[in-house]
Chain A
Amino acid sequence: MPLLCMRNIDKAFFGKPANLQVCLEVQHNEIHALLGENGAGKTTLMNMLYGIYQRDAGEILYDGQNVAFSSPKDAIAHRIGMVHQHFTLVPTLTVSQNITLGLKSPGHPFPRRRDLNQQIQEISQRYSLEVDPTALVSTLSVGEQQRVEIIKLLYRDARLLILDEPTAVLTPQESESLFVVLRRLREEGHSVIIITHRIPEVMSITDTVTILRDGRNVATVKTSETSEQELARFMIGRALEPIGRSAAPPSCAGTALQLSEVTLVEHGRSKLGPVSLCVDPGKILGIAGVDGNGQKELAEVILGIRRHSAGSILLGDAVLDALGVMERKNLGIGYISDDRHHDSLVLDMDLMDNLLLKTHTEKRFITHGLLDRKKIRQDTARAVDAYHIKTSALECPIRYLSGGNQQKLILAREMAGQPRCIIAFQPTRGLDIGASEFVHQELLRLRDAGCAILMLSADLEEVLDLSDHIAVIHKGEIMDVLVNQDIDLTYIGLLMAGKRGDERGAVV
């Protein structure tokens, strides 16, 4: 008897189906992948299991019993736990306080913290989830925060764990250690449902895969009996095309984006060492590096979101140093941020308004000083069409779009109007393979049209696939800039770890 059996689940939002007759069966001791394009309905399905949404039709059998959870609390009581795409930890509390939050621990309301920490230590050792119970959550890296989320579930004795895109925010190394944990969980008798867009990950750790498309089941297969190609085909309905990065067109004259000796000092600490870079029109410069090594600072300094402390930034002939964000964008810089919910979108506004964030001062949308709703609607409809954004309506708050579709809207906004330069920071984070392919093609298309692109990504493969030149960043400094041809990966690895070329001989 399977641990979980969801049968013929239906769910519609505003009359638009997000799940149609979906079935999912999870066995004991199994790592089960839920695969599907952005907006396929994966999160929705899990939210129904977890009691966040109520299903319209269908039944859920858990441990042989018919269940209907009315809230996550209910689900947790039945030993089901979920880690959301966006974490829900309180940054100002310690790890151990976060883990026991909302529980009546022994001694409530004055829990014996030392005993609790002991218990947490035991869990973390048993599953090799290293974390310090007394540390403040705000001091933890993303990977560590995720461990805390998982310990939180194990502390509540979860037997079935749901992880929604856990690896989207992790470095490859962090993902590897997460997989070690997952395998350990399986040995200890837990089952895991993992949502991910990365097919290699699916191949390496799961036992079974269920694929959804447009809210319906496409297939359920044993991982050992399938291949990456087949999964890709199930997912997007066709085979994936390899990125055909043609040679860059002969570069147009001059430099598009140029940074000379740019530094950023905040609160007396240097965040960005003197950085000198230039990106030619029609070229992609990829910045490789471990997450958190000054990529965000670099991107924001170029946009003017943070003001650099010294040095100068040029776009073509224009000096950007004294300009505000708006003026820089008007000169033709587009920005794709790595944190779409905070930096790029107003979640409670609809699609039209989110596109307007960049264009609300443009004359074509204003008649007699007022915003012209009709034109804005048309423009939005065009963007939704061109970028294949799945939404129930243009008036739908962007909050309710799936992550991938939110990202597509940002692309539509930032790539509109022939930009001269794009700063693409983790442009495919959380995107399905089809959408990532689309983003890559768009970036290449813009490049061929003469746009200068600075791409920052923690995904080395993405950098290698797209870039004409590769720069490696470490602790806010550019270690080296290489032409993307016959690249020595160990060398890049060393640079990413902060070991310079001249030390190379010594290290190897």
Chain B
Amino acid sequence: MNRFRDALGFLAIAAILLLISVLLILAVGSDVTKAFSSFLRGIFGSFYGFSEVLVRATPLILAGLGVAVGFRTGFVNIGAEGQIYLGAIAITVLGLAAPGLPPVLMVGLAILLGFVFGGIWSVVPGILKARFGISEVINTIMLNYIALNLVGVLVRTWLKDPSYPYPMSPMLPAAASYPELLSPTRLHAGFLVALAAAVAVYVLVFRTPTGFEMRAVGLNSRACHCAGIPVYKNIVLSAFISGGLAGIAGVGEIAGLHHRLIEGISPGYGYIAIIVSLLGQNHPLGVVVAALGVSALHVGSLSMQRAAGVPTSIASIIMGTLVVLILARKSLFGSTVKLVREN
């Protein structure tokens, strides 16, 4: 019965979204069929298009996993964006400081360092929350601004490439790159890293005693305290892992795509990751699926813009509406479904 209600709710959401897209497409004066066909062709029509979906999904999966791990323990991490940048700083510093490292070691160390940098960025609000009860929501957001501007300062000063007038770091050594998977597409091994991280998070959260403690703390921290489960330790730990995963996302953007530190490596991945985690119901598998979906939405809308002249903003509008509908689903559709069933 509940399944039925759920399914109906999601169908209703899909219908509403479709309706809104049609209206928007008509409003900008485009042809609906052309728009939709170019949307689908953008995603499935070419090898390149499809690989782009995976490329964009990579940071979303990693950061989304991070947000999900935090949510499970009751740590609301809005700071994935900043943590992504910290990961990017980590690999840049490593690549420039030790350019002679062999590739395997370099990439391994970069991931580790990115994890630690991102983790530290989120463990600070984690400690403030666990020890003093200060809202992590505000603190993580504030740290986003600090991280963004920290990158701005770094690429103009210590990490600046002296041979160019632009604010960016020198190219990193080739050893600091993820292998390409499907040349000539941009797909890189970061996608595999993301999938591996999803498996690791699943095992950690659902199979280990530590993950059990983290979940329990997220659901009832008082009972955990009474049972002797250290609430403080678990919040701090989950904050660290949460930020660390987002940090790895930042490492991947540099190692897989940009190969140097620049401003704006993330078009808001850290914020979209919150949506991804929400859509994926904080479950690793859900996060992977949601990240692919969100990424496909974006790639499709790009193609729609090219072929049918529909602005890509439509993708953002759809995503925003989707989140509102999902959050309001229970109260919106619960009663209608009941009505339908009773008649």
User: Do residues B207 and A303 form an inter-chain contact, with CB atoms below 8 A?
Assistant: no
Residues of B within 8 A of A361 (CB): 209
A133 CA / B230 CA spacing, docked (Å): 41
Residues of B within 8 A of A346 (CB): 216, 219-220, 223-224
Question: Which residues of chain A come closer than 8 Å to B219, judged between CB atoms?
Answer: 346-349
List the one stretch of A175-183, A184-192, A313-321, A364-372 in contact with chain B.
Answer: A364-372
User: Which residues 197-212 of B sit at the A interface, judged by CB distance below 8 A?
Assistant: 203, 207-209, 212
- B244 to chain A minimum Cβ distance, whole angstroms, is 19
Q: Are A371 and B225 in contact (CB under 8 A)?
A: no
Asked whether, in the complex, the Cβ of A360 is within 8 Å of the Cβ of B226, the reply is no
B interface, over-half SS? helix
Residues of B within 8 A of A366 (CB): 209
Shortest Cβ distance from B235 into chain A, in angstroms? Answer: 16
Neighbour of B207 across the interface among A326, A329, A343, A371, CB < 8 A:
A371
Q: Tell me whether A108 is interfacial, beta carbon within 8 Å.
A: no
Q: Are B226 and A303 in contact (CB under 8 A)?
A: yes
Q: Which residues of B contact A337 (CB under 8 A)?
A: 226
Q: Does B222 contact A (CB under 8 A)?
A: yes
Q: Report A405 CB to chain B, min CB distance, Å.
A: 17
Q: Say whether B220 contacts A305, CB under 8 Å.
A: no
Tell me, in angstroms, the Cα distance from A243 to B212 when the chains sit together.
40
A342 B223 Cβ-Cβ under 8 A: yes
Measured CB to CB, the nearest residue on chain B to A357 is: B227
Q: Residue B124 at the A interface, CB < 8 A?
A: no
Does B229 have its Cβ within 8 Å of any Cβ on chain A? yes
A325 contacts chain B at the CB level, 8 A cutoff: yes
Chain A proximity of B237: nearest CB distance (Å): 15
Does residue A308 face the partner (Cβ distance < 8 Å to B)? no
Q: How far is the CA of A305 from the CA of B222 in the complex (A)?
A: 10
| Complex: A81 Cα to B1 Cα, angstroms | 28
How far is B216's CA from A353's CA once the two chains are assembled, in angstroms?
A: 9
Which among A305, A342, A347, A360 is the interface contact of B212 at CB below 8 angstroms?
A360
Complex Cα distance, B207 from A152, in Å, reads: 47
Nearest Cβ distance between residue B71 and chain A, in whole angstroms? Answer: 14
B216 and A305: CB pair below 8 A? Answer: no
**Interchain nearest-CB distance for A369 vs B (Å):** 6
Closest to A328 in B: B228
Q: A346-B223, A347-B220, A349-B219 are in contact. Are A324 and B230 (CB under 8 A)?
A: yes
Judge whether A344 is part of the interface by a CB distance below 8 angstroms: yes
Interface residues on B, range: 20 to 34
Please provide the chain A residues from 346 to 384 with a CB less than 8 Å away from any CB of chain B in the complex.
346-349, 353, 356-358, 360-361, 366, 369-371
What are the residues of chain A within 8 A of B224 when measuring CB–CB?
346, 357
A42 to B208, CA, bound (A): 39
A70-B338, A370-B207 are contacts. A358–B227 as well, Cβ < 8 Å? yes
Task: Give the residue name and chain of the B residue nearest to A358 (CB).
Answer: B227
| Chain B residues closer than 8 Å to A326, beta-carbon distance | 227-230
Q: Which residue of A lies closest to B226 (CB)?
A: A343
Name A300's closest neighbour in chain B (CB-CB). Answer: B226
User: Is B52 among interface residues, defined by CB-CB distance under 8 A?
Assistant: no
Are A370 and B212 neighbours in the complex by a CB distance under 8 Å?
A: no
- Mask: chain B, 149-163; 1 = CB below 8 Å from A; 0 = not: 000000000000000
Q: Which residues of A contact B220 (CB under 8 A)?
A: 342, 345-348
* B:173-210 near A, CB below 8 Å: 203, 207-209
- The answer to whether residues A344 and B209 also contact, given A70-B338, A370-B203 and a CB cut-off of 8 A, is no
Q: Which residues of B contact A370 (CB under 8 A)?
A: 203, 207-208
A residues less than 8 Å from B216 (CB atoms)? 346, 349, 353, 357
Complex CA–CA separation, A353 to B209 (angstroms): 11
Nearest-neighbor residue (CB-CB) of B335 within chain A: A70
Query: Using Cβ atoms and an 8 Å threshold, which residues of chain A touch B229?
Result: 326, 357
A343–B220 CA distance with the chains assembled, in angstroms: 9
Q: How far is the CA of A345 from the CA of B224 in the complex (A)?
A: 9
Shortest beta-carbon distance, A337 to chain B, in Å?
6
Considering only CB atoms, which chain A residue lies closest to B341 in the complex?
A54
Residues of B within 8 A of A303 (CB): 226
**A335 at interface by CB-CB < 8 Å:** yes
**CA gap between A335 and B223 in the complex, in Å:** 12
A361 to B203, CA, bound (A): 16
The answer to whether B208 touches A369, judged by C-beta atoms less than 8 angstroms apart, is: yes
Whole-angstrom CA separation of A120 from B209 in the bound complex? 52
Task: Report how far A276 CA is from B279 CA in the complex, Å.
Answer: 55
| CB pair A329 B208 closer than 8 Å | no
In the assembled complex, the CB of A376 is this many whole angstroms from the nearest CB of chain B, namely 10
B260 → A minimal CB distance (Å): 39
**Binary contact track A279-306/B, C-beta < 8 Å → 1, others 0:** 0000000000000000000000001110
List the interface of chain B (C-beta within 8 A of A).
203, 207-209, 212-213, 215-216, 219-220, 222-230, 338
Known: A342-B220, A347-B219. 12 other contacts (CB 8 A): A303-B226, A324-B230, A326-B227, A326-B230, A328-B228, A342-B222, A342-B223, A344-B223, A344-B226, A349-B215, A357-B229, A371-B212
| Sample (24) of A-B pairs whose CB atoms are under 8 Å apart | A303-B226, A324-B228, A325-B225, A325-B227, A326-B230, A329-B227, A329-B228, A335-B226, A337-B226, A342-B223, A343-B222, A343-B226, A344-B223, A344-B226, A346-B219, A346-B223, A346-B224, A348-B219, A349-B215, A357-B224, A357-B229, A361-B209, A370-B207, A371-B208
Which residue numbers of A lie inside 8 Å of B, CB to CB?
A: 70, 303-305, 324-329, 335, 337, 342-349, 353, 356-358, 360-361, 366, 369-371
Which 10 pairs of residues, A with B, have the shortest CB-CB distance? Answer: A326-B228, A325-B228, A346-B220, A357-B227, A343-B226, A370-B207, A360-B209, A346-B219, A360-B212, A348-B219
